[in-house]
Amino acid sequence: MNLIGTKWKPLVLFHLLDGGLRSGVLQKKILGISNKMFTQTVRELEKDRLIIRTVFPVVPPKVEYKLSQRGASLEPILRSLDKWGLDNYDN
């Protein structure tokens, strides 16, 4: 639970399931996340080797995030969580 048990981590991972995304694009997909929490979250996920951060030395800066093999192994769980959430949205 320490690796993925936060408010934002599962969401970040979920949005990377279909492929790597540029930083700004990924952040926009996570509705409601602040810039600070976004950076903090991806940093921790990178540290835990669940995602891979790639920096392209261009101007303007370009950074891409994608799931690591380890992160990808969470796919069944993330998909299940998503489905369960949709099925139980009535709350």
Binding site for its own copies (CB under 8 A): 1, 3, 5-7, 10-11, 48, 70, 73-74, 76-77, 80-81, 84-85, 87-88, 91
Residue 34 within binding range of DNA, rule CB under 7 A:
yes
CA 29 to chain CA centroid, Å, is: 10
Residue 70 within binding range of DNA, rule CB under 7 A:
no
Kindly tell me which of 10 and 20 has the beta carbon lying closer to its own copies. 10
Contacts of 7 (CB under 8 A, 6+ apart): none
Kindly tell me which of 59 and 86 has the beta carbon lying closer to DNA. 59
Contacts of 41 (CB under 8 A, 6+ apart): 6, 8, 9, 12, 33
